[in-house]
Amino acid sequence: MAANGHQSNSPYVTLVSSDGLEFVVLREATSVSPTIRGMLRGQMIEARTGRCEFPEISGVILEKVVEYFHYWYKNQDKKDVPDMDIPVELCLQILDAADYLGLDSKPPLRQLKEGS
């Protein structure tokens, strides 16, 4: 569905928060989020530049999200992984961001439809 040329541009993508903080993350680590995966595919500007802006997510929250990306990337095949620490005062905003980025417990529909 997408031209693969730009996807091999760089192994990193840049995530930008509402207050302008930029996080450079491994592309593979962000692939846990179907939302970001969708942004980086196809003919979107994000896909061409490798730069995703999130005007809804503040820097503090995005930092935690990025931390989760790495946590997921590092531990995805391990057993009995300890929980990532989340400060209580941020939990609602992170919940909201996780909902937005599709970081919840269901696999994306596409995956279900295609079979495996």
Residue 78 tokens, joined: 């391990």
H/E element, 13: strand 12-16
Q: What angle do CA 84, 10, 12 make, to 5 degrees?
A: 15
**Is 110 near other proteins (CB under 8 A)?**
no
For position 109 contacting other proteins by CB under 8 A, the verdict is yes
Say whether residue 113 binds other proteins (CB under 8 A).
yes
Count of all residues that appear for the chain in the document: 116
DSSP state, residue 8: G
- Of the candidates 2, 3, 44, 84, which one interacts with other proteins according to CB under 8 A? 84
Q: Which stretch binds other proteins (CB under 8 A): 2-10, 20-28, 47-55, 72-80?
A: 72-80
Q: Which residue has the tokens 């095949």?
A: 77
Burial of residue 14 (CB within 10 Å: 0-12, 13-18, 19+) is: middle
Binding window for other proteins (CB under 8 A); candidates: 21-29, 36-44, 46-54, 95-103 = 95-103
Residue range at the interface with other proteins (CB under 8 A); choices 8-16, 22-30, 36-44, 105-113 = 105-113
The residue among 1 and 83 lying less far from other proteins, judged by its C-beta, is 83
Three-state SS at 58:
coil
**Would you tell me which residues interact with other proteins (CB under 8 A)?**
56, 65, 68, 71-72, 75-81, 83-84, 86-88, 90-92, 94-99, 101, 103-107, 109, 111-113, 115-116
